[in-house]
């Protein structure tokens, strides 16, 4: 049965005189999804340590369990992290699902599992909540059909539910992603595990490479690099995924909101423990440093596939920067936090080519602009471009508490909550409970860092 819609809630945030503390962030959502899926594809047992306990990753676990995979939670969640053990008979031992596979609110679950199921000889239907039913699937359907799977969706094959009839042997293809998307790339690579020959994905901008790293660590021949002005990922002859344990770093997309809070607040110092700093994901750190943010980075020695570091951010004088489409692609999930930084920076920040934000859990361009404007920020939208004028010389950056809508979008809820720490007066956020999608303990941490 599909999950019922979350109940709308209102959360009130008051300004903070100081921000202090050390935070252990939830496990990286992107890596957790992939660790669960790859553990299920492998025959045997794989541990996922410190993975996300957010609703999205729980949706992936639920879909895999409906296919006959055992996923056991080891102990109680800790700060949005949970350890799991995945026991699987391997893809060949999966059972055809008796009902609809419920992806909840998770676009990652829908897109990555589409690739997996395209290469699995069974009939399956992927669906989700009302928000997910508005997320486009045509970019997934097109390459998976060319590989030989049968896929159909409603509204002329553009929107979920998504029906898939998979095959045990798919055709190798070359696929150019029209819009840089790690999820589309990953769907093609996961489908490519059932293909013979070279599966190639070409991107205008290199997107997050967790899937490539994790496939290599599990015995799959995946190579990547620049060629002919593009970033090219090549996987040869698919193969069997081997079981492997994964230690999941803290989610840098969650860290983004604390990095902005610490840099913008007039009296702040926050430490973020064991954060993932994968070169294809760390754009938020580098862009904030360009804006003048004081961020200290202490690399950690790890035995996993992902680099990690402890980040400490403190009060800074921020200045405006310009972001182009390439910057947006590298920091797509962190753009909401960067917009708040821009509202607190000296000068005018331009963010160009952000159309992909309109295809997230909500139309994030409209949500960011409407919410920040309600709080007093100067924001203009022109198509898929945003212009934000900061007012650092005014008290509270010219931000004043107001009632704002998160539109059931976890990133917008966190954006407006952090803005509430900086604004003058009371900020009331509708649908703030949506933070549970990626960061169940966010509102608790928000109160804990008030000194």
What pLDDT does residue 8 have? 57
Residues 313-339 have a mean pLDDT of: 97
Tens of pLDDT, residues 109-159: 999 999 999 999 999 999 999 999 999 999 999 999 999 999 999 999 999
Task: Let me know if 333 is a catalytic residue.
Answer: yes
Residues 405-432 have a mean pLDDT of: 97
Q: Domain ends where: 235, 261, 283?
A: 235
Q: Is residue 3 one of the residues assigned to a domain?
A: no
Q: What is the dihedral of CA 124, 129, 135, 138, to 10 degrees?
A: 20
The verdict on 324 and 363 lying in the same domain is yes
Q: Which of 210, 172, 63 minimizes the C-alpha distance to 128? A: 63
Q: Is residue 241 one of the residues assigned to a domain?
A: no
Beta-carbon contacts of 439 under 8 Å, excluding residues fewer than 6 positions away, are 25, 26, 54, 80, 251, 254, 410, 414
pLDDT at 7 over 80: no
- Contact predicate 250/229, CB 8 Å: no
Q: Is residue 1 one of the residues assigned to a domain?
A: no
Tens of pLDDT, residues 155-196: 999 999 999 999 999 999 999 999 889 999 999 999 999 999
What pLDDT does residue 429 have? 98
Sign for the pseudo-dihedral over CA of 352, 353, 354, 355: positive
The verdict on 177 and 306 lying in the same domain is no
The verdict on 212 and 270 lying in the same domain is no
Q: Is the pTM of this model over 0.85?
A: yes
Q: Domain ends where: 208, 235, 262?
A: 235
How far lies 28's CA from each of 217, 239, 248, 275, 352, in Å? 18, 26, 6, 8, 27
Indicate the pLDDT class of residue 80, thresholds 50, 70 and 90: confident
End-to-end Cα separation, the chain, in angstroms? 44
The verdict on 187 and 59 lying in the same domain is yes
Which domain CATH number covers 384? 3.65.10.10
**Helices 364-374 and 335-343, packing angle to 10 deg:** 30
Q: Is residue 240 one of the residues assigned to a domain?
A: no
The verdict on 149 and 257 lying in the same domain is no
Q: Which of 398, 331, 369, 438 minimizes the C-alpha distance to 29? A: 438
The verdict on 47 and 87 lying in the same domain is yes
What pLDDT does residue 379 have? 98
The verdict on 61 and 168 lying in the same domain is yes
Tens of pLDDT, residues 69-78: 999 999 888 8
Tens of pLDDT, residues 356-377: 999 899 999 999 999 999 999 9
The verdict on 350 and 389 lying in the same domain is yes
Q: Is residue 348 one of the residues assigned to a domain?
A: yes
Q: Is residue 84 one of the residues assigned to a domain?
A: yes
Tens of pLDDT, residues 18-55: 999 999 999 999 999 999 999 999 999 999 999 999 99
| Mean pLDDT, rounded, of the chain | 95
Beta-carbon contacts of 75 under 8 Å, excluding residues fewer than 6 positions away, are 82, 83
Q: Is residue 358 one of the residues assigned to a domain?
A: yes
What pLDDT does residue 4 have? 43
pLDDT at 107 over 80: yes
* High-pLDDT (> 90) share of the chain, %: 93
Q: Is residue 87 one of the residues assigned to a domain?
A: yes
Residues 277-292 have a mean pLDDT of: 97
What pLDDT does residue 2 have? 55
Q: Domain ends where: 170, 203, 235?
A: 235
The verdict on 113 and 20 lying in the same domain is no
The residues facing 98 across adjacent strands are none
CA distance 205 to 162: 28
* Domain carrying residue 230: 29-235
The verdict on 183 and 258 lying in the same domain is no
- What tokens does 296 get? 């200290």
Phi, psi of 244, rounded to the nearest 5 degrees: -160, 140
Beta-carbon contacts of 447 under 8 Å, excluding residues fewer than 6 positions away, are none
The verdict on 293 and 312 lying in the same domain is yes
CA distance 69 to 61: 9
Q: Which of 3-17, 180-194, 272-286, 392-406 has the lowest mean pLDDT?
A: 3-17
The verdict on 218 and 305 lying in the same domain is no
pLDDT at 79 over 50: yes
Quote the number of domains for the chain: 2
pLDDT at 292 over 90: yes
Of 333, 408, 430, 431, which is the active-site residue? 333
């Amino acid at each position: 049965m599909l999950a019922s819609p979350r109940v709308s809630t209102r959360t009130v945030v008051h300004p903070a005189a100081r921000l202090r503390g050390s935070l252990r962030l939830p496990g990286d959502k992107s890596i957790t999804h992939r660790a669960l899926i790859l553990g299920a594809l492998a025959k045997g047992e794989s541990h996922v340590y410190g993975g996300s306990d957010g609703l999205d990753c729980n949706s992936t676990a639920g879909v895999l369990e409906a296919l006959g995979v055992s996923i056991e939670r080891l102990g109680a969640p800790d700060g949005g992290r949970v350890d799991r053990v995945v026991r699987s008979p391997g893809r060949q031992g999966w059972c055809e699902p008796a009902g609809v596979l419920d992806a909840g609110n998770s676009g990652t679950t829908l897109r990555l599992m589409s690739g997996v199921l395209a290469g699995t000889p069974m009939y399956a239907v992927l669906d989700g909540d009302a928000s997910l039913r508005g997320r486009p699937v045509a970019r997934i359907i097109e390459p998976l059909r060319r590989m030989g799977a049968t896929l159909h969706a409603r509204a002329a094959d553009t929107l979920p539910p998504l029906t898939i009839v998979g095959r045990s042997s798919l055709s190798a293809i070359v696929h150019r992603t029209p819009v840089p998307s790690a999820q589309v790339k990953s769907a093609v690579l996961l489908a490519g595990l059932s293909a013979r020959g070279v599966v190639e994905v070409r991107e205008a901008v290199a997107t997050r490479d967790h899937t490539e790293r994790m496939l290599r660590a599990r015995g799959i021949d995946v190579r990547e690099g620049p060629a002919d002005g593009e970033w090219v990922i090549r996987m040869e002859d698919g193969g069997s995924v081997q079981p492997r344990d994964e230690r999941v770093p803290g989610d840098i997309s969650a860290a983004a909101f604390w990095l902005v809070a610490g840099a913008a607040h007039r009296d702040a110092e926050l430490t973020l423990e064991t954060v993932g700093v994968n070169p294809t994901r760390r754009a938020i750190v580098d862009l904030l440093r360009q804006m003048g943010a004081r961020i200290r980075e202490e690399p950690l020695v790890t035995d996993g596939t992902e680099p990690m570091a402890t980040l400490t951010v403190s009060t800074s004088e921020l200045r405006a920067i310009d972001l182009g489409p390439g910057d947006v692609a590298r920091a797509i999930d962190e753009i909401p936090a960067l917009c708040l930084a821009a509202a607190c920076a000296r000068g005018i920040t331009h963010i160009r080519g952000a159309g992909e934000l309109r295809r997230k859990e909500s139309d994030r361009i409209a949500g960011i602009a409407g919410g920040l404007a309600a709080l007093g920020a100067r924001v203009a939208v022109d198509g898929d471009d945003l212009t934000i004028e900061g007012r650092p010389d005014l008290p509270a950056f010219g931000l004043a508490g107001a009632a704002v809508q998160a539109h059931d979008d976890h990133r917008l809820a966190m954006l407006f909550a952090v803005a509430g720490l900086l604004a003058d007066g009371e900020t009331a956020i509708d649908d703030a409970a949506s933070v549970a999608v990626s960061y169940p303990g966010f509102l608790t941490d928000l109160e804990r860092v008030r000194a």
